[in-house]
Amino acid sequence: MQRSLAGLWLLAAAVLLTSCRTTVTLKREVVVVFKPGTTAADRDRVRAACADATPHASPEPVGPGTLKSSRVNDVRFRVDKADDAELAKLYACLTKDPAVRGVNLPDMG
């Protein structure tokens, strides 16, 4: 009986740890990297132009930072539920703007 109970506890712990890791792994964002000299208006234009590129990619709100360094990569899209095809659509939308140098999908897990 004690072995069965211990086995159930181990199974429950494994399921809990797996589900926690899965939840963390699903939090993803795309960070837009801009060329030097990009203005706030350029960043706002890119954010607005690609806000509806796919149903599972939504722009994050702009932070309150006033430092120039905080505005460099302030255009980010949450893509938690986006699949590869949706990411490709978002990347295509973002990279067609001349102010965009590229996009990153950092590992947030």
Give the model confidence (pLDDT) of 38-66 as tens digits: 999 999 999 999 999 999 999 998 776 65
Range list of β-strands (E), the chain: 29-34, 58-59, 76-78, 100-104
What local confidence, expressed as pLDDT, does residue 8 receive? Answer: 44
The answer, yes or no, to whether residue 18 has pLDDT greater than 80, is: no
The answer to whether 46 and 97 are in contact (CB under 8 A) is: yes
CATH topology of domain 27-104: Alpha-Beta Plaits (3.30.70)
- Segments making up each domain of the chain, as ranges: 27-104
Higher pLDDT, 19 or 63: 63
pTM of this prediction? 0.69
